Amino acid sequence: MVDGGISVKKLTLASILLVILLLFACQANENDLIFVGEGKNWSTKVTVNLSNGEETYQIQINYKEYAIQSIETFSYHVETKNSGAIDFGGNNISLNKEGIYQRDLAISNSPSTSLKDELVIKVEWNGNSEDFTLINK
């Protein structure tokens, strides 16, 4: 019975350590810059990953309305408000069934984005257009 108790304690301790490691692994890199913003119909999060002397980008765009099925495709363009360091976009993009588009972008730049930068996104869909600012959070 004592051996069984020890095994359960070891298993519990191992499980707790595994959960802690997973939590740390899932956190954003402390060097990442996260820009967020929202307009009337859309919200966006752009993560700028800074590592190995390069910037790479992730984007998540959420449609805030309920009629997700009314949007067959949309396009977007993101750029830095003042410096022009970031400039990318996409056309004929589809949302998933939750109204979200998420992607790791296959582009990279030399590090040039700072905490003080602001990004601007323009989203176009169904003959409509909306643009709004993303700020570092």
pLDDT digits (tens, 9 = 90+) for 36-83: 999 999 999 999 998 877 888 999 999 998 888 899 999 999 999 877
Percent residues over pLDDT 90 in the chain: 49
- Name the residue with higher pLDDT: 99 or 52: 99
Q: Which of 1-5, 22-26, 39-43, 101-105 has the lowest mean pLDDT?
A: 22-26
Q: How far is residue 44's CA from residue 13's CA, in Å, rounded to a whole number?
A: 39
Q: How far is residue 11's CA from residue 48's CA, in Å, rounded to a whole number?
A: 38
- Give domain 33-136's CATH superfamily: Immunoglobulins (2.60.40.10)
- Give the per-residue pLDDT at 27: 45
Contact of 112 with 83, CB cutoff 8 Å: yes
Reported confidence tier of residue 26, pLDDT bands at 50, 70, 90: very low
Q: Are strands 128-136 and 42-51 parallel, antiparallel or unpaired?
A: unpaired
Highest mean pLDDT among 5-14, 38-47, 114-123 belongs to 38-47
User: CB pairs under 8 A, 24+ apart, for 62-69?
Assistant: 62/99, 62/100, 62/101, 63/95, 63/99, 63/100, 64/38, 64/40, 64/99, 65/41, 65/99, 68/95, 68/97, 68/98, 68/99
